[in-house]
Chain A
Amino acid sequence: MDISASSQIGANLDVTKLSDRDKQELQQFVVNESQKARIQASIHSLTDTCFRKCIPTGTVKKGSLDKYEEPCIKNCVDRFLDANLVVLRELERMRQ
Chain B
Amino acid sequence: NMDSLGASGMSAFGNDQKTQVMRQIQQEAAMQNARMLVEKLNEHCFERCVPKPGTSLSKGEESCFTACMDKYMQAWNTVSKQYVARIQKESQQGGMGNTF
Identify the A interface with B (CB < 8 A): 1, 3, 5-6, 8-10, 12-14, 17-18, 22, 25-26, 28-30, 32-33, 35-44, 46-48, 50-52, 54-55, 57-65, 69-70, 73-74, 76-78, 81, 84-85, 88
Q: Is B56 an interface residue (CB 8 A)?
A: no
Given A25-B9, A26-B18, A46-B83: A37 and B29 interface contact (C-beta under 8 Å) = yes
> Digit string of B29-50 for contact with A (CB within 8 Å is 1, else 0)?
1011100110010001100110
Q: Which of B44, B78, B90 contacts A74 (CB 8 A)?
A: B78
How many A-B pairs have beta carbons closer than 8 Å: the answer is 144
Given A9-B21, A10-B24, A59-B64: A47 and B8 interface contact (C-beta under 8 Å) = no
